[in-house]
Amino acid sequence: MSIITTLFWFAVAVIGAMALGWLFRAFVVAVSPQRHAQEMRKAPLTASFGLLVILIYVLVAALAPVIAPFGESEVVGGEFLPWDSTYLLGTDNLGRDMLTRMIYGARNTVGIAFIITALAFFGGTVLGLFAAVVGGWLDQGLSRFVDVLMAIPSLIFSLLLLTIFGTSVLSLVLVIATVDATRVFRLARSVAQGIVVMDYIEAARLRGEGKWWLITREILPNAMAPLVAEFGLRFCFVFLAISGLSFLGLGIQPPTADWGGMVRDNATLITFGDLTPFLPAGAIALLTVAVNFVVDWQLHRSSGLKE
C-alpha cells in the first residue's frame, strides 16, 4: 500500500469520525435538558466522538450475552477459518468465533479495568488527601513508601507480584490497583497541599471541623477537576496494562476472552497477511484514544479557558 493510499484512507477515517461525532452531539443536544444541552453544544467534535465510542463499548459489554452469536468459549469450527457469512471475523487458533470473543472481550477487559481503576483511585485519593491534611510524620512516611514503590517500573513490579501471588482475576485486580494507587496518591497529595493552605481551610479548622469533614466538604470538591481527569487517564493506563499482561500470559487467563490474549493467540496470522490479530489491538487503541478525547475536554472545561 502506497503512502498516498494510506493517507487517503486515514483522511477518510478522520472525516468519518468527525461526522459521527457531529451527529452524536446533535442527537444528545436534541434529547438533553437545556443546561446539559448547552454544555454538549460547546463540546468539540473529538469529545463527541469519544463519548460515542465509550457509549458503544459500554453497550456492547452490557449486552454481550444477547448480541454474541456463540458462547464465549464455544468451539464452533476449524482453526483460523476465514471471514464469511457464518463467522463474520473468522475463527481463532482453537476454532472459536472471533466476533464473539471480541464482544465478550469488551465486557471482561473494560469491566476489569474499570474495577481496578475505581479501587486504585479510591485508595490513592483517600490516602493522598489524608496525608496532605494531617502532614508531619504520617505524610512523610506515606510519601517515602510511595516513592519506593514508584521507583520500580510498574510492568516489572506487576509481573513480579503476579508471579508470586498467581494470575487469578482477584490477584490481577489487587496487584494493578496497588501499583496504580501510588500514582493517584502523588497527584491527590499534590493537589491537596495547594488547597490546605487556603484561608477557608484555616477557618474550618478554627470552627473545630474534623479531618474527615475537611477532606470531604472542603478539599475534595475543589480538587475534583484534576482528579476526574486523572481517573480517565488512569483508566487508560490500567486498560493498557491489563492488555499487556494478558499478551505476556499473566493477565486475564483462558478461556476468558481478553483482547490482549487474543492478539497473542492469533499473532501467527500476521505472517500470512491476515489482519484478524489487529482487530483486538485496534479495539484497545480506539477506546484509549476515545477516553483521552473526553479527558482533554474535561480538562479544558475545568481550566476556564474559552478557546
Give DSSP secondary structure letters for 91-117: B-TTSBBHHHHHHHHIIIIIHHHHHHH
Which cell goes with 139?
Answer: 505524610
H or E stretch at 141: helix 136-151
pLDDT in tens, 122-176: 999 999 998 988 888 888 898 999 999 888 888 888 888 888 888 888 898 999 9
Q: What is the pTM of this model?
A: 0.85
Q: What is the CA radius of gyration of the chain?
A: 23
User: What cell numbers appear for 300 in the block?
Assistant: 479544558
- In the chain, the percentage of residues whose pLDDT exceeds 70 is 97
Per DSSP, the three-state class of 75 is strand
In CATH terms, the fold of domain 103-277+287-303 is: MetI-like fold (1.10.3720)
With CA atoms as reference, report the closest residue to 160 among 176, 143, 181, 139: 176
In sign, the C-alpha dihedral spanning 49, 98, 117, 157 is negative
Q: Cell 496487584 maps to which residue? A: 175
The secondary structure of 234-293 as a DSSP string is HHHHHHHHHHHHHHHTSSSPTTS--HHHHHHHTGGGGGGT--TTHHHHHHHHHHHHHHHH
| 91 bridge partner residues | 97
Model confidence at 258: pLDDT above 70: yes
Give the pLDDT confidence of 168-200 residue by residue, as tens digits: 888 989 999 999 999 999 999 999 888 888 888
Instruction: Please list the residues that pair with 175 across neighbouring strands.
Output: none
Q: What is the dihedral of CA 152, 247, 67, 24, to 10 degrees?
A: 60
Per-residue pLDDT at 305: 47
What count of other Cβ atoms lies within 10 Å of the Cβ of residue 99? Answer: 18
How far is 155 from 251, CA to CA, in rounded Å?
12
Kindly report the length of the chain. Answer: 307
Does residue 79 have a pLDDT over 50? yes
Domain boundaries, given as residue ranges, for the chain: 103-277+287-303
207: DSSP letter: T
Contact 44, 299 (CB under 8 A): no
* Of 108, 36, 116, residue with least CA distance to 72: 108
